[in-house]
Structure 1
Amino acid sequence: MRHPLQTILAVFLVVGLASAWFAPARTAEAKPNIVLIFADDLGYGDVGCYGATKLKTPNIDRLASQGRRFTDAHSASAVCTPSRYALLSGEYPFRREVWGPAMNQSALLIDPDKTTLADLLKGQGYATACIGKWHLGFGSKPKPDWNADLKPGPLELGFDYYFGLPVVSSHPPFVLIENHRVLGLDPADPLVYGSTPPTTPYPEKMLRPGISGGKAAHALYKDDQLGTQFSAKAVSFIREHRDGPFFLYLATPHIHHPFTPDKRFIGTSQCGLYGDFIHELDWMVGQVLATLDELKLADRTLVIVTSDNGGMVNLTGQKAVRAGHRLNGDLLGFKFDAWEGGHRVPFIARWPGHIEPNSTSDQLICHVDMPATLAAAAGREIKTGECPDSLNVLPALTGAPKEPIRRRAVLAPVRKTHLALRDERWLYIGARGGGGFAGKVGQHMLGGPPAIQFAGEVNSDIENGKFKSDAPNEQLYDLQADPRQTTNVVRRNPEIAQRMKALLKRYQEGMTERE
């Protein structure tokens, strides 16, 4: 007969061995795979679950039914480059004077010595990849050499792998990059600054500032195949790293102009190429979700779908509006604006077992929060000096906080004169208008009062497509009572406006979100 002490010791030994055996598995499971799908110019009203009726997004809608849809999520900027700066750096872009889109002569805008979102996750053992649109510059000084190693770049900011388009689908160079090099580059035919690029023309595809030469490299870039290529690369990365944890940042060129969906999507929506391009985006989301399902990774993966800024009422966007589509829903303004339509964006998160299915949150969140939030999901806290404007809003994804986690946000249009401050229910803009484009109907850069009139929106400072002569030089909106921003109440609430103006100045002087 075994002595009782021997039995107890045997039990402890078995438990100890079991704990040692299963501990690594539990640790790995505690770190979810993370897929962040960052669409381009996808407006608040461009998705079915946010009210779109002239197009269908079954895959994105399914994600929302299985997760949480946010109604008060914002990009830190209404412009693509500064929005991406905030997402990856955890810092407001106005702090580094990043206001407009970076073009082909731009150096890398994020200091490689700064801690980025990818750095945080890589430090937690994640395999990291950026696939798709970069648009943050390359190299340590302006006019990078496109025929040499393009670094520093994504790989110097924490990504193990990069495949994508270097600038934006509307501007040169129209080439693909893998890690540090342009694909298909022939040393005998280098890329050179200037002249017209040898690329397929499309409406709303700009050819300046020019980069020419490199015919073999340009030939590999096929506008209508980017969605297919980037989806295949994303699926390949997931398969390769199925044992996890992995972080996939899939930055789609959809739905930025030019509108170049694969031919199988053309004519499938009720609002022209604008909606057709969204259909291809939804298909891309579906490819990622289907791969996670096939590999039985869905339950261990946090998936986020959002957009870099609001929808743009360019020429194709204008056709969509005429067809009855509302790019940004009932919000005022468009891409580039400080008005809500410029930066309030779709934001959907799914993490089975952690995020309540088919739920909605009105918590104020911002893309600048992604470094702290996704690091927290991976078990990492932000340290002093890292990602200074990033707040951990993970409880807003996984729980139901009774109090706001983020109470304020600094929101940037393309013009620095219109830098805006959100403070709970209030939005303050220190100038007249949206601070975006000011073109007329029928022009690519439609914006301002003409765009408001064209879209059938209403604002108390605007009449017949023009500013009223007595319109204030500042704006204040009560978004709780007036989410459409129909009425500028700055003259009724001068004390609130003054308080917010002073607070905005403190941010501009260096105050950060975690102070």
Structure 2
Amino acid sequence: MDFNQRTSVAKLLILQAFTCLSVCIAQTQSKSAEAPVSVLNEMRPKTTQSEYPNIVLIYADDLGYGDLSSYGATKIKTPNIDRLAKNGILFTDGHSTSATCTPSRYALLTGEYPLRINNYSPVFCADRLIIDTKKTTIASLLKRKGYTTACVGKWHLGFGDKPKPDWNKELKPGPLELGFDYFFGLPVVNSHPPFVYMENRRILGLDPNDPLTYKRGGKTYGKAYVGKHTSPHRGMPSVIGGKVAHDLYVDELIGEKLTQKALTWMNQQDKPFFLYYASHNVHLPITPHPYFHGKSECGLRGDFVEELDWSVGQIISAVERFGALENTIFIFTSDNGAIIKGKDQGDILDQLGHKPNGKLKGRKFGAWEAGHRVPFIVSWPNKIPAGKTSDALIANLDLLPTFAAITGQKLAPHEARDGFNQLPLLLGKDTTSARSELIIQPHKRSHKSLRQGDWVYIPGAGDGGWVPAKKGELPKQLYNLKDDPYQQQNRINDFPERADAMASHLNKLMKQYGMSVNKIMSKNKAKKKQKQ
């Protein structure tokens, strides 16, 4: 055994010892911690029934394809999410069109590719709202039929009509200008400033004598965690001040707070309702409620997933207490695949026997399958056949047109231009997806990819996210997902005609959206030269 091998073995042994110690400590803390405060006892039966179903859309954050027991996880227990799968349909080929958080949410709410507005990256505290307030969203669509609508959780789509919105005033336009009657949650993301709660258009707990102000690289109030950027580098915007508002925001209690707010809002509704529950679980920083520490068998990240499952269970139980379970559609999915922070964390999870993205290749931000193939479950008792598994292609883009069909609405040509009505597929009236292809958006514009049937074409080396190309790798990629679901064999040289046809079709689609692949690559090269 040479020196490098001995070093690797020693490192793994240290990781094993550290992991065992961490699990023991977490389990001890969990036993002494009280359970999250539940408001379930406040729920009351609904006295009115609607011809339209309630719709609950649960959007997890950075949850990988392999993070749920219904998708094969053995070290994490997710009985409540699994219950939705048992009572509905579980998709094995469900996707977010983007492998990145903000563009994924744009696609979800509008039914359109975020590339149409040139969005490939997350927005932060200084960014304006990226959705045109004239554009139809899921919320505004459902309001046409009398729904009350709420977004509870992570927004991450910007505020205001110009950069650097004033955080001390009403933040608009925002969720309420896009069809939501109510908003409570995180205005940006739990990893970046400002670390505060927002309700409707205002930040909670603001003190006029201690306003929130912009400062590049400024340190915010709040407890530090790995993955929490309390002092972003100087190239990143930050917001300082607002100590009272920051004190209301306790990282380990976010899941409890958001769940309480979601249940309380649902309990107040007499009309059919649409709840968009945009959980912060399991985005970095990994901060599960103390009660969940040690509950899973794979560390704090696994505990964070189990906290998410608790929230889902609370929402399901609330709907049951309303007497509305059979008249409620539940959709559970994720904004993108899992991100594993550094090789050490990956080694720890491997040692614990858990792979957040299952056997899929890649990670969040990338064009490989792990970046965007996500859990995708739909339940509607007595409407959707129970216990069904489907390998049909479906995407977050398809939800808006599907909801339109459920509520008997015909979309105009300019609405949800890239989504497909999947209601026949959900109801079991068709086994074939209405979608035959999907554009996949990784973080890098140059790697915008095309899925057609079983084939996926990637016009670059590496994953187009945080995994760079290795020396000697081919400059383009082609995979047959039916024969090679884990993308181990690049067939670009075996099927050049297919690759050329897919590249041509992708370029044609880009021209329809006003930009060619070649132009995008030229722009990227120009930016690199400017930086040099």
Pair in the same fold by TM > 0.5 = yes
Structure 1 residue aligned with 2:148: 127
CA deviation after TM superposition for structure 1 residue 389, in Å: 0.6
Aligned residue identity for 2:187: P
Conserved 8 A contact 2:425-2:431: no
For normalisation by structure 2, the TM-score amounts to 0.84
Q: Structure 2: how far apart are the matches of 1:154 and 1:317? A: 35
Contact 1:274/1:317 (<8 A) preserved? no
CA distance in 2, matches of 1:402, 1:33: 25
Distance 1:400 1:200 in 2: 52
Alignment of 1:32-43 (within 5 A): 32-43=53-64
> 365, 372, 375: which is aligned to 1:336?
365
Paired position in structure 1 for 2:507: 505
Match of 2:334 among 307, 328, 333: 307
Residue 401 of structure 2 corresponds to residue 399 of structure 1: no
Aligned to 1:274: 301
Superposed, 1:75-114 pairs within 5 Å as 75-114=96-135
Q: Which runs of 5+ in 1 are unaligned?
A: 1-24, 439-447, 450-466
Using the alignment, how far apart are the partners of 1:401 and 1:356 within structure 2? 12
Choose which of 222, 245, 269 in structure 2 pairs with 1:199. 222
Query: Displacement of 1:510 after TM fit?
Result: 2.0
Counterparts of 1:182 and 1:162, CA distance in 2:
11
Partners of 1:81 and 1:153 in 2: how far apart?
14
- Contact kept, 8 Å, 1:432 with 1:474, in 2: the verdict is yes
Q: How does 1:208-357 map to 2 (within 5 A)?
A: 208=232, 209-241=237-269, 243-315=270-342, 317-318=345-346, 319-357=348-386
Aligned residue in 1 for 2:38: none
Distance 1:468 1:203 in 2: 31
SS, match of residue 119 in structure 1: helix
Residue 443 of structure 1 corresponds to none
SS for the counterpart of 1:237 is helix
Give CA deviations for 1:292-350 in whole Å, capped at 9, x if unaligned.
11111110000011000001111485232332211111111110010000000001111
- Distance in structure 2 (CA, Å) of the matches to 1:362 and 1:296: 32
1:377 aligns with 2:398: no
Q: Which amino acid aligns with 2:106?
A: Y
Query: Hey, what's the Cα distance between the residues in 2 that align with 1:196 and 1:370?
Result: 39
C-alpha distance in 1 between matches for 2:113 and 2:445: 13
- 1:509 partner SS: helix
Per-residue Cα deviation, 1:374-409 (whole angstroms, up to 9, x for no partner) = 121122121111111111111121114243310000
2:518 aligned partner: none
Superposed CA offset, 1:492-511 (max 9, x none):
11111111111111221126
Report the Cα distance in structure 2 between the residues aligned to 1:378 and 1:283, rounded to whole angstroms. 30
Q: Distance in 2 between matches of 1:75 and 1:267?
A: 30
Please report how far the alpha carbon of residue 254 of structure 1 lies from its aligned counterpart in structure 2 after TM superposition: 0.2
Partner of 1:157: 178
CA distance in 2, matches of 1:403, 1:299: 25
What whole-Å deviation, never above 9, does each CA across 1:415-462 have from its counterpart, x for those lacking one?
Answer: 111001100111000001111114xxxxxxxxx57xxxxxxxxxxxxx
Alpha-carbon distance between aligned partners in 1 of 2:206 and 2:352, rounded to the nearest angstrom? 42
Q: Distance in 1 between matches of 2:500 and 2:60?
A: 36
Per-residue Cα deviation, 1:331-374 (whole angstroms, up to 9, x for no partner): 11110010000000001111011111111111101101111111
Which one-letter code corresponds to 1:81 in the other structure? T
Q: Secondary structure at the match of 1:30?
A: coil
* Closer, same or farther: CA 404–305 of 1 in aligned 2, 3 Å: closer
1: CA distance, partners of 2:445 / 2:359: 25
The answer to whether the aligner puts 1:387 opposite 2:389 as a matched pair is: no
Pairing 1:437–2:459 present: no
SS of 1:227's partner is helix
1:107–1:137: 8 Å Cα contact kept in structure 2? yes
Q: Is the 8 A contact 1:91 1:388 kept in 2?
A: yes
Distance 1:359 1:402, change over 3 A: closer
Contact 1:274–1:320 (CA under 8 A) maintained in structure 2: no
Contact kept, 8 Å, 1:95 with 1:508, in 2: the verdict is no
Letter in 2 for 1:314: K
Question: What corresponds to 1:481 in structure 2?
Answer: 483
- Matches of 1:223 and 1:173, distance apart in 2: 12
Tell me the equivalent position of 2:448: 419
| One-letter amino acid matched to 1:202 | Y
The residue type paired with residue 391 of structure 1 is F
Task: Please tell me the residue identity of whatever aligns with 1:98.
Answer: N
Residue of structure 2 in register with 1:118 after alignment: 139
Amino acid aligned to 1:427 = V
Contact 1:55 1:275 in 2 (8 A): yes
Q: Which amino acid aligns with 2:369?
A: E
Which whole-Å deviations, capped at 9, do the CAs of 1:17-69 have from their partners, x for residues lacking one? xxxxxxxx9x9643110000000000000000000011110111111111110
Q: What is aligned with 1:462?
A: none
Deviation at 1:147, TM superposition (A): 0.6
CA distance in structure 1 between the partners assigned to 2:316 and 2:127 by the alignment = 35
Residue 174 (structure 2) pairs with residue 147 (structure 1): no
Preserved contact between residue 136 and residue 416 of structure 2 (Cα < 8 Å): yes
Instruction: Check whether the contact 2:392–2:431 (CA below 8 A) recurs between aligned residues.
Output: no
8 Å CA contact retained: 1:361, 1:396: no
User: Contact conserved, 2:425 with 2:432, CA < 8 A, in 1?
Assistant: no
Listed one character per residue, the Cα deviations across residues 118-144 of structure 1 (whole Å, up to 9, x for unaligned) are 110111110000000000000001111
Q: Are the counterparts in 2 of residues 275 and 320 from structure 1 also a CA contact under 8 Å? A: no
Q: Secondary structure at the match of 2:225?
A: coil
Distance in 2, Cα, partners of 1:221 & 1:114: 32
Following the alignment from structure 2 to structure 1, what is the Cα–Cα distance between the partners of residues 275 and 431? 31
**Equivalent residue letter for 2:316:** L
Deviates more, 1:27-36 or 1:98-107: 27-36
CA positional deviation for 1:223: 0.6
Offset at 1:265? Answer: 0.1
The amino acid of 2:442's aligned partner reads P
